[in-house]
Amino acid sequence: MVETGHGPASGRAGGRGQADAPGRQAQRTGEASPAVSDPWRVLPPIMLAMALAMADQTMIASSLPLVVSSLGDAERVGWVLIGFMMTSMISAPVYGGLGDVFRRKRMMIVALTVFACGAVLSALSVNLDMLILARILQGIGGGGLMTSAQALLGETVPVQERARYQGYLGGITVSCASLGPVLGGVIGDLLGWRAIFLASLPVAAVTVVLVMRLPDSRRSGAATAISDWRFDGWGLAWFAGFSVALLVALEQVKRAESTALAGLAVCAVAASLCLIGLIRRERRASHPLLPLDLLSEAPLRYSNMLVLLHGCVMLGLISFMPLYLRVEHGLSATRSGVMLLLLTGGLAVGALVGGKMVSHTRRTTIFPAAGLSATTVILTVLVFAMEWVTIPQLGLAMCLIGMMMGSTMGVAQLLVQIASGPRAIGVTAGFLLFSRSLGSALGVALALMILFVAMKSLDPGAMALFEARLDGSFAAGPADAALLKSFQLAIGMLAMISFFGAVVAWRHPMRRF
């Protein structure tokens, strides 16, 4: 029995995804998710797949200044990250649904192949537009890696052991991802930013070999579902249109020019129409891409909101900090990578410790609630102390933020797996990754939007000073104060999002499992 803050979640009649349906119906019929006798046989390819997807973002984030120096166009460089996260967000529920019907192993191999092809094209890019398109392709594979990995874990490990393995998985994969900023900085400084993408290819090849050695398995009942299953193509089209229009609208706002108002209005209208079309389609589809009725279950709704806000803060910081460290403190890509290592290393520690504490106490949301509350306080202090903060003090703050936020993803994944039941593990894992990817993309877009809009509004010379410092010229200028104020406003926005995340975590109805 799950203990909640508002009493047990009650079932609702009717409808496939109505709060109660997939998981509890499976429990009533006695169907359970099969668990292998040795989960560690499945964990290595899961860990490598997740590490690939996570390290990819942190490795390139620490070298964004190098990309700007090589290809130019500082205002659009954020799309190197946003493009990946946008298509990860769109593809995640697709892989989740396909994996629920077809073999999970097959979908993992497809995702690895697409991811590797995107990495090769990224390394061969001759301009920023080509790099962004290659990252969009790579993100289609990245969404499948995360979704398939989480669903495999849910199918393999018994629910009573899942919190502990989520802690192991979170700690190990985040530890691998923690090396991403340093490796990205070192590789970028020594071999150039293109080599960062090529470095992922050997890991992808090893992961393919390990995945191919996994036993073929399909949950009971899936064979009959294949003949009735229909891909939700219209849902995917509406969803892609909404995601692209929303992120392009944020890009138009960042330009802060009167000529951008028409484009902003068009994008806003397009996003609204696509959202309406998506909602109407998903309510009628027999096999919806995004089963919105799952959100009628409070634990699923709150978990997805929590992950969205968590991803917004975390990826906002990861993309924002290398630019700040370069422009305000003159740090190289390698030294910026070391600073991000403190953040992601703290995530690893938080994930490991949080997983063990959740498994031992069986309490869940208290850990992300306390962690996000502490993160809000730390970020708020940084906003007011940014003018005087030193590199060691900033490193300590990044480490503490990472540790405080480390348990959030593991807890959310555990809660949605319990609430959804075994038959909807892939769908809910895809939905959760969609929420994380949407939050991550919004975090990067909002942080950079606030930064560039503030620079243009406060002092016309701030943008020129920003670009000069990215190129290695660190002479003081009259726009110094405006530049610092712009960074403060961006950090302040992330602090506000962290506060809302803490509120969601404190109000989450599933307090124990």
The whole-number pLDDT of residue 496 equals 95
pLDDT at residue 33, rounded to an integer:
44
User: Tokens 């002092």 map to which residue?
Assistant: 459
Q: Is the pLDDT of residue 26 over 70?
A: no
Half-sphere exposure of 466 (CA within 13 A, CB side): 28
Q: Percentage of the chain surpassing pLDDT 90?
A: 13
Please write the tens of the pLDDT for every residue from 402-421. Answer: 888 887 877 877 777 777 66
Confidence at residue 223, expressed as pLDDT on a 0 to 100 scale: 41
pLDDT at 133 over 70: yes
CA distance 29 to 150: 24
Residue 282 pLDDT exceeds 50: yes
Burial 481-497 (b: 16+ CB within 10 A, else e): ebbbbbbbbbbbbbbeb
Is 337 a residue whose pLDDT tops 50?
A: yes
401 or 60, higher pLDDT: 401
Helix (H, G, I), strand (E, B) or coil at 467: helix
Counting residues of the chain whose pLDDT is more than 70, the rounded percentage is: 79
DSSP state of 297: S
Whether the pLDDT of residue 16 is over 50: the answer is no
CA distances from 332 to 57, 184, 192, 463, 513 (A): 18, 11, 13, 20, 46
The residue length of the chain stands at 513
Where does the pLDDT of residue 378 fall: very low under 50, low under 70, confident under 90, or very high at 90 and above?
very high
Considering only residues 423 and 493, tell me which one the structure prediction assigns the higher pLDDT: 493
pLDDT interval class at 485 (50, 70, 90): very high
Task: Pick the range with the lowest mean pLDDT from 217-221, 276-280, 458-462.
Answer: 217-221
Per-residue pLDDT tens digits for 463-477:
888 888 877 777 777
As a whole number, the mean pLDDT across the chain is 77
Band of pLDDT at residue 235, cut at 50, 70 and 90: confident
Contacts of 426 (CB under 8 A, 6+ apart): 95, 96, 97, 99, 100, 104, 147, 151
The answer on pLDDT for 34 being more than 60 is: no
pLDDT in tens, 100-125: 677 778 888 899 999 999 999 999 98
Q: Is the model's pLDDT at 226 over the cut of 70? A: no
One-letter amino acid for residue 435 of the chain: S
| HEC string for 54-97 | HHHHHHHHCCHHHHHHHHCCHHHCCHHHHHHHHHHHHHHHHHHH
Mean pLDDT of 354-366: 80
